[in-house]
Amino acid sequence: MENDDIKTLADQHAKDFKRFTEIEGIIIRGHIVVERQLIRVIEMSVENPREFDPEKLSFSNKVMIAHMMGISDLFKVELKSLNKLRNQVAHSLQFDPKLLHLIIDEVNKKQVVIVKSMAIEVQLGTAISFICGAISQANLKVKKELLETITKEIMNKNNVE
């Protein structure tokens, strides 16, 4: 490789780093935080958590499992959009701002007021925090409903005997 080629590559690399802004970092970190939250609630809900290997599953698989458990029902659009954003940033260092606004708007529809005058980074961070909290809350609701169902079954069985 010639020195000119190396300089060209180095210049391109430097340009790519300069293009990477705080919002891309929030997208990547937010995706990681949401994924960790999904893993936690799945591990807390499965019968044999040691057999659950989150490394073998994609983000979409984890969302699907959480959805099947009734945990991520309200956030399908936001979770899919966050995953698309993350993939766009990770693979091309660019993203579709419409997806970013879609996440924020969808979270706002759920009785959260994300002030539009705040910086977009703050709006996205707030939306991601809300999603993580809601996933945890949904997990508790699912567990409570399961406990209530089991309790009713035991009571009904005891009344029959």
Residue 53 domain boundaries: 3-160
Q: Span 137-150, mean pLDDT? A: 65
Whether the pLDDT of residue 61 is over 70: the answer is yes
CA angle 40, 137, 51 (to 5 degrees): 25
Select from 2, 29, 133, 15 the least CA-distant residue to 74. Answer: 133
Residue 158 token pair: 């005891």
Select from 89, 93, 105 the least CA-distant residue to 15. Answer: 93
On whether the pTM is more than 0.85, the answer is no
Report the number of distinct structural domains present in the chain. Answer: 1
Q: State residue 155's pLDDT score.
A: 62
